[in-house]
Amino acid sequence: MLTSPYDKYKQTQTQTANSSKLLLMLYEGAIRFLKLGIEGIDNRDIEKANNNLIKTQAIINELIASLNYDYPIANDLLKIYEYMLHKLIQANIHKDKTHAMEVYEYLIELKDTWTEASRLASV
């Protein structure tokens, strides 16, 4: 049950968003949690790092689940997402920010690409 107005707003926003908006929201969430995970690694806050890296993994798993294999690019994206999951696991096991930063760069690049594709599709 949602109790705060913010939670209700977020639920409504998610339920009414189109597919490209939802995809961008997933990328934004993954980037936000990954930043927090990196911050946890930097501050040697094991719990914060672990929790946020796991949240990032969950979002990437959601991105995998949302792939549409009617399009050839889906197979390439699957490989990228699986690679990012592997790097996140390595970052979490070793508390190594190098692995996490690589994933961060991929997420930013993919988000920017989808933002541009979405913009062009709406023109």
Taking residue 96's Cβ as centre, other Cβ atoms within 10 Å add up to: 13
Say how far apart CA 119 and CA 123 lie, in whole Å: 7
Write down the pTM of the prediction. 0.84
Would you say residue 109 has pLDDT above 50?
Answer: yes
Percent of the chain whose predicted confidence (pLDDT) is above 70: 86
Three-state SS at 17: coil
List the chain domain ranges.
Answer: 19-121
Cα angle, residue 20 at apex, residues 81 and 65 outer, rounded to 5°: 35
Q: Could you identify the residue written with the tokens 């908006």?
A: 21
State residue 16's pLDDT score: 47
pLDDT digits (tens, 9 = 90+) for 29-83: 999 999 999 999 999 999 999 999 999 999 999 999 999 999 999 999 999 999 9
Q: How far is C-alpha 49 from the geometric centre of its chain's CA atoms?
A: 15
Amino acid code (one letter) for 59: I
Superfamily of domain 19-121: Flagellar protein FliS (1.20.120.340)
Q: What is the Rg, in whole angstroms, of the alpha carbon atoms belonging to the chain?
A: 15
Q: Is 90 left (phi over 0), alpha (psi -120 to 50) or beta?
A: alpha
